[in-house]
């Protein structure tokens, strides 16, 4: 589909549903986070799984980030090929085909991967040997989220000793993740975050004393940047959602500008207090609840596949069929992947239309 004639026009001229990206807000968010870390020993390695766009990643690097974090191997491929020089895959890469991809992509820059099992380590080392390369890795530690990762402290050291026998792997450090601990009570959040980070740092101390130098201790997310980012011993933090934001993060006190919205059209006005938009579950994720309308007095009450149900209060602006409204996703990380393009705006004018290259999976 040709979108070029939309450049320079008002954002409401874009066909719906469409993903809008306020690039000015993104740039201000990036600068705000960079400024917070400018005088701190912890460094930024932003997670790109949210925005999924090399354009934003390069802006983060220009603002002082040391590299980028990815969730998947194909994402790492896109960012390395775009010129990002240091990429961490904050996940395990398994299976012969993907491991081969990992080894071959390692020539494009500093590429690190997480490992938490001996079998996976053996397979990666064997593939690396065939290409005469060493693969950098972080040992992932389970600090309480109970997802991936080995248990901390002595159990982690025991695992590292076994993995260290594979000579085509190079140990760089540790990764833990407490950023998914969304807690409304500030005191409880501080307590849980401290407990998780303490486990990670104490594991580092044990491993260091055993003769395995730990260069990197990677952790955190946007939700905990001002806690984990100042915790002694954490060397880098994987903030992601802050760049584009969403309603869920704003509810937990993350004070950055909303940079992404989904543009929708009103397609029906069955009653004075009701309206229907052309945007439903195929364009807006609901894993963190329903999204919200950017306009006052309008509440999204339900989403079908292609329809959104709007309840209008007395103070709602008058809506007629054909009007366009902007919706704030409840969770940006799971809404952005629905779309192939960003419509990049500045001062409400379409500045560019950019394909989201990580929308595609590996061939």
CB 246 within 8 A of CB 330: yes
Does residue 194 sit within a domain? Answer: yes
**Looking at the structure, do residues 14 and 33 belong to the same domain, yes or no?**
no
From 196, 214, 243, the end of a domain falls on 243
Quote the percentage of the chain above a pLDDT of 70.
98
Does residue 347 sit within a domain? Answer: yes
- Confidence (pLDDT) at 356: 96
CA distance 356 to 339: 8
Report the CATH number at residue 287. 2.40.37.20
Q: Which tens digits make up the pLDDT trace of 20-57?
A: 999 999 999 999 999 999 999 999 999 999 999 999 99
- Confidence (pLDDT) at 27: 98
**Looking at the structure, do residues 124 and 163 belong to the same domain, yes or no?**
yes
**Looking at the structure, do residues 231 and 102 belong to the same domain, yes or no?**
yes
For 219, phi and psi rounded to 5 degrees? Answer: -160, -175
Report the CATH number at residue 166. 3.20.20.10
Q: Which tens digits make up the pLDDT trace of 5-16?
A: 999 999 999 999
**Looking at the structure, do residues 236 and 167 belong to the same domain, yes or no?**
yes
- Confidence (pLDDT) at 181: 78
**Looking at the structure, do residues 275 and 174 belong to the same domain, yes or no?**
no
Task: Tell me what the mean pLDDT of segment 114-132 comes to.
Answer: 98
Quote the percentage of the chain above a pLDDT of 90.
93
CA dihedral 306, 24, 249, 286 (to 10 degrees): 10
- Confidence (pLDDT) at 295: 95
Q: Give the C-alpha distances (Å, rounded to integers) separating 337 from 51, 57, 103, 288.
A: 9, 17, 26, 15
Average pLDDT, the chain: 96
Does residue 249 sit within a domain? Answer: no
**Residue the block writes with tokens 């329903």:** 290
**Looking at the structure, do residues 171 and 60 belong to the same domain, yes or no?**
yes
Task: Tell me what the mean pLDDT of segment 178-184 comes to.
Answer: 81
Does residue 259 sit within a domain? Answer: yes
CA distance 225 to 337: 24
**Residue 145 predicted with pLDDT over 90:** no
Q: Which tens digits make up the pLDDT trace of 210-226?
A: 999 999 999 999 999 99
CB 172 within 8 A of CB 161: no
**Residue 363 predicted with pLDDT over 60:** no
Task: Tell me what the mean pLDDT of segment 113-137 comes to.
Answer: 98
Does residue 362 sit within a domain? Answer: no
**Looking at the structure, do residues 279 and 214 belong to the same domain, yes or no?**
no
**Looking at the structure, do residues 185 and 205 belong to the same domain, yes or no?**
yes
Q: Which tens digits make up the pLDDT trace of 227-283?
A: 999 999 999 999 999 999 999 999 999 999 999 999 999 999 999 999 999 999 999
CB 276 within 8 A of CB 309: yes
From 99, 200, 220, 75, select the one nearest 140 (Cα to Cα): 200
From 218, 243, 268, the end of a domain falls on 243
Provide Rg for the chain, Cα atoms.
22
CA distance 73 to 91: 9
Q: Which tens digits make up the pLDDT trace of 287-311?
A: 999 999 999 999 999 999 999 999 9
From 214, 243, 272, the end of a domain falls on 243
**Looking at the structure, do residues 267 and 222 belong to the same domain, yes or no?**
no
**Residue 362 predicted with pLDDT over 60:** no
CA distance 320 to 144: 50
Q: CB-hemisphere CA count at 13 Å for 201? A: 16
Does residue 76 sit within a domain? Answer: yes
**Looking at the structure, do residues 176 and 91 belong to the same domain, yes or no?**
yes
Does residue 262 sit within a domain? Answer: yes
Does residue 360 sit within a domain? Answer: no
**Residue 130 predicted with pLDDT over 80:** yes
pTM attached to this predicted model: 0.96
**Looking at the structure, do residues 232 and 298 belong to the same domain, yes or no?**
no
**Looking at the structure, do residues 170 and 199 belong to the same domain, yes or no?**
yes
Give how many domains the chain has, as a whole number. 2
The percent helix, strand, coil of the chain (3-state, each to 5) is 35, 25, 40
Show the domain range for 112.
24-243
**Residue 360 predicted with pLDDT over 70:** no
């Amino acid at each position: 589909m040709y979108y070029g004639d939309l450049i320079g026009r008002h954002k409401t001229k874009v066909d719906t549903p469409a993903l809008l990206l306020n690039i000015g807000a993104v740039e201000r968010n990036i600068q705000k986070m960079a400024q917070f870390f400018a005088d701190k020993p912890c460094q930024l390695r932003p997670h790109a799984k949210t925005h999924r766009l090399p354009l934003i990643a390069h802006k983060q690097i220009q603002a002082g980030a040391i590299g980028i974090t990815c969730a998947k191997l194909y994402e790492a491929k896109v960012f390395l090929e775009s010129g990002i020089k240091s990429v961490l895959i904050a996940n395990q890469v398994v299976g012969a085909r993907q491991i081969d991809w990992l080894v071959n992509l390692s020539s494009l820059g500093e590429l690190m991967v997480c490992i938490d099992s001996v079998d996976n380590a053996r397979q990666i080392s064997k593939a690396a040997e065939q290409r005469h390369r060493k693969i950098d890795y972080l040992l992932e530690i389970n600090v309480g989220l109970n997802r991936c990762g080995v248990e901390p402290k002595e159990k982690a050291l025991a695992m590292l000793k076994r993995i260290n026998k594979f000579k085509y792997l190079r140990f760089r450090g540790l990764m833990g993740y407490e950023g998914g601990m969304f807690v409304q009570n500030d005191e409880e959040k501080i307590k849980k975050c401290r407990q998780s980070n303490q486990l990670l740092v104490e594991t580092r101390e044990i491993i260091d004393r055993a003769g395995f130098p730990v260069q990197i201790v990677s952790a955190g997310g946007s939700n905990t940047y001002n806690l984990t980012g100042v915790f002694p011993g954490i060397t880098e933090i994987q903030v992601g959602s802050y760049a584009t934001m969403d309603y869920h993060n704003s509810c937990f006190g993350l004070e950055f500008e909303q940079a992404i919205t989904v543009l929708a059209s009103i397609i029906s006005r069955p009653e004075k207090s009701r309206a229907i938009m052309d945007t439903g579950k195929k364009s807006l994720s609901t894993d963190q609840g329903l999204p919200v309308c950017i306009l006052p007095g309008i509440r999204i009450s339900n989403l079908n596949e292609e329809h959104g149900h709007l309840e209008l209060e007395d103070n709602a602006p008058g809506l007629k069929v054909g009007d366009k409204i902007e919706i704030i996703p409840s969770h940006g990380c799971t809404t952005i992947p629905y779309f192939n393009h960003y419509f990049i705006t500045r001062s409400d004018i379409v500045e560019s239309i950019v394909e989201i290259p990580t929308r595609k999976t590996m061939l």
